[in-house]
C-alpha cells in the first residue's frame, strides 16, 4: 500500500470559461497532468481530485462546470470540494489522508501560484513530505500593480523558487513517480 497520494487540484472546466484561458498552454499542461495521473494509477498511488466551488458563477455546482477538465481521463480514489485556496482547509482531505496512512503528497493542478502553492505550503506545515510537480501545474500571465506583465513561465519559476527546499521538493512527473514507486517497493 502506498503512503503517497497524488493531488489533482482544481483541474476543472470552470477555468476554460475565464477570459485569460489559453488553450495552447493548457494542452501541454493536460498532457503532463495525464502522464502524472496515469503513472500514479499504474504505481498504485491513490489519485485525489479536488474541485474549487463557490456559491455562484462558473465555480458553482449549478454552473455545470465543476467537472474534470476535458479531455483529462481520471478515476479518482476520492473527490473533495474546497472553498479556500488550500485543499486542506474545510474539505475533509486531511482526514482522508491521515485515515489512509498518507505521509507524502504529490501536488499538481491549476493555478500554480494560488491553490497549488497554498496547498503545498499547508501540507508541509502539517508534516507531509511534498513533491511539487511544476510541469503538471497551470497558470496564466498576470499584471502587477506597477503594470508589469508576468508570464506564466515567470510565475511558475517564482513559485518553484520559493517552495524549493523549504516547503517541497520540486520534481518532474518522472521524478515524483519514480520516488513513489521506490517507496512502495521498499
d(CA 19, CA 183) in angstroms, rounded, equals 42
Residue 10: its pLDDT value, please?
98
Residue 184: its pLDDT value, please?
61
Residue 47: its pLDDT value, please?
98
Q: Is 103 in contact with 3 (CB distance < 8 Å)? A: yes
Q: Above 70 in pLDDT, residue 180?
A: no
* 3-state SS, residue 56: coil
Comparing CA positions, the residue from 22, 14, 119 lying closest to residue 58 is: 14
What is the arithmetic mean of pLDDT over 52-80? 97
Tell me the domains of the chain and their CATH numbers.
4-185 (3.40.50.850)
Could you give the count of Cα atoms lying within 13 Å of 122 in the half-sphere of its Cβ?
16
pTM: 0.95
Confidence of residue 179 (pLDDT cuts 50, 70, 90): confident
What is the arithmetic mean of pLDDT over 54-69? 97
Comparing CA positions, the residue from 28, 6, 24, 1 lying closest to residue 116 is: 6
Residue-wise pLDDT for 80-99, tens only, equals: 999 999 999 999 999 999 99
Residue-wise pLDDT for 103-158, tens only, equals: 999 999 999 999 999 999 999 999 999 999 999 999 999 999 999 999 999 999 99
Amino acid at each position: 500500500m502506498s503512503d503517497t497520494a497524488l493531488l489533482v487540484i482544481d483541474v476543472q472546466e470552470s477555468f476554460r470559461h475565464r477570459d485569460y484561458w489559453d488553450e495552447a498552454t493548457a494542452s501541454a499542461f493536460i498532457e503532463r497532468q495525464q502522464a502524472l495521473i496515469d503513472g500514479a494509477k499504474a504505481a498504485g498511488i491513490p489519485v485525489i481530485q479536488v474541485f474549487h466551488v463557490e456559491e455562484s458563477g462558473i465555480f458553482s455546482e449549478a454552473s455545470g462546470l465543476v467537472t474534470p477538465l476535458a479531455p483529462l481521463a481520471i478515476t479518482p480514489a476520492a473527490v473533495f470540494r474546497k472553498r479556500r485556496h488550500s485543499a486542506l482547509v474545510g474539505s475533509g482531505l486531511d482526514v482522508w489522508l491521515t485515515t489512509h496512512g498518507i505521509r507524502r503528497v504529490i501536488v499538481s493542478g491549476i493555478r500554480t501560484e494560488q491553490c497549488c502553492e497554498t496547498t503545498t505550503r499547508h501540507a508541509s506545515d502539517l508534516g507531509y513530505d511534498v513533491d511539487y510537480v511544476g510541469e503538471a501545474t497551470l497558470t496564466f500571465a498576470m499584471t502587477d500593480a506597477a503594470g508589469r506583465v508576468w508570464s506564466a513561465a515567470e510565475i511558475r519559476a517564482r513559485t518553484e523558487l520559493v517552495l524549493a527546499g523549504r516547503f517541497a521538493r520540486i520534481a518532474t512527473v518522472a521524478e515524483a513517480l519514480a520516488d513513489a514507486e521506490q517507496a512502495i517497493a521498499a
